[in-house]
Amino acid sequence: MSDFELHSDRRLFLKRLAGAGLAAGVTGFAGCTKPSKSATPAPSPEPTPTAGARGRIGDLETVVIRHASGSSAEIAIQGAHVTSWKRATGDEMLFVSARSALAAGEPIRGGIPVVFPQFAALGPLPMHGFVRTTPWEVADVGRDPTGAVFALLRTRDTDASRALWPHAFRASMRVTLDEALSTAITIENTGQDAFPFHCALHTYLRVADVRKVSVEGLEGATYQDRTAKSVQRRERRRPVTVRGEVDRIYVGRTGRLRIVDESRGRAILLDRAGFNDVVVWNPGEEKARTSIGLADGEWLNMLAVESAQIVPPVQLAPGSLWSGVQRLRVS
């Protein structure tokens, strides 16, 4: 990539962050930002809710956004869960298991589950927290000045969430689509006390054969191996490849990842801000069948590469915001 391409690529990324209402986070991503006139995204006080194109996946209602290029994204309103990202060519980029539950209160096995406020079972809450299975609402659907289309979804604490986790919060998820798919999550502490949380965008990438996929950008990184009691290891100085079960938290690893799908002759670029960790997960053939419930052979067609903030958890002061964003693009 030439310098010009690199810089215009960065500029586009920052522009998109601004479009995502997260320009403030560009400086505040390393920590948390206190909303202020200059630091707050510039929301209209109450964005006008618009219907967007509504659809269904299983029993769940979805909102569908389409870009002029022909790309589209589908978001289940429950969980603000992206369930499909199709490029203009019609190529589906995200994996959803044919066996996935698609029902109220059930996690979806695929797409981009929002993990908050707990990653996996690293605490007393249900696996991966609760917002992936709770109701959200569509706050806005529209088009940015850049031509990108977006859907903004929101949720907040309820009696049920406070019974599990005694904190007041608002969360928003902005899904922005052009030639790339950007997903930006913002958490606001609306209570009186600070709270800690994990957050991840548990992105299930659809691949042709995971054994022929490599992840570049993690060379030499330190990771917790969750298949071996989270023992700490150092990645080899080579791209990560998958032969069987892999479940790793790469801690404090920023920078671009490139996921190369050799069988399809394409690579996905993953850029992040706010998320300093990366999770790479594939259950392997046996677990896919026994505990994860994938259909036969589906373990070959997925690789979860997750933008995450787990180590350390975010500590969010009352009245403060935290944002994490990822952008996926095919190169």
Task: List, by residue number, the catalytic residues.
Answer: 202, 306
Nearer to ligand TA6, 247 or 271 (CB): 247
Nearer to ligand TA6, 282 or 320 (CB): 282
Annotate 288-318 with three-state secondary structure. HHHHHCCCCCHHHHEEEEEEEEEEEEEEECC
Nearer to ligand TA6, 226 or 258 (CB): 226
| Encoded tokens for 121 | 């079972």
Nearer to ligand TA6, 32 or 270 (CB): 270
Q: Helix (H, G, I), strand (E, B), or coil: what is residue 10?
A: helix
Q: How far is the CB of 76 from ligand TA6 (least distance, A)?
A: 14
Q: How far is the CB of 318 from ligand TA6 (least distance, A)?
A: 29
Nearer to ligand TA6, 202 or 272 (CB): 202
Q: How far is the CB of 128 from ligand TA6 (least distance, A)?
A: 5
Extended beta strands in 87-235, E state: 114-115, 137-143, 149-156, 169-177, 181-189, 195-201, 204-206, 213-216, 222-225, 231-234
Residue with tokens 């800690």: 196
Q: How far is the CB of 152 from ligand TA6 (least distance, A)?
A: 25
DSSP 237-257: SS-EE-SS-EEEEETT--S-E
CB 184 within 8 A of CB 321: no
List of residues contacting ligand TA6 (CB under 6 A): 107, 120, 127-128, 202, 226, 247, 279, 281, 304, 306
Q: How far is the CB of 44 from ligand TA6 (least distance, A)?
A: 35
CB 152 within 8 A of CB 170: no
Strands 195-201 and 302-316: antiparallel
Sign of the CA dihedral with 239 first, then 94, 4, and 14 last = negative
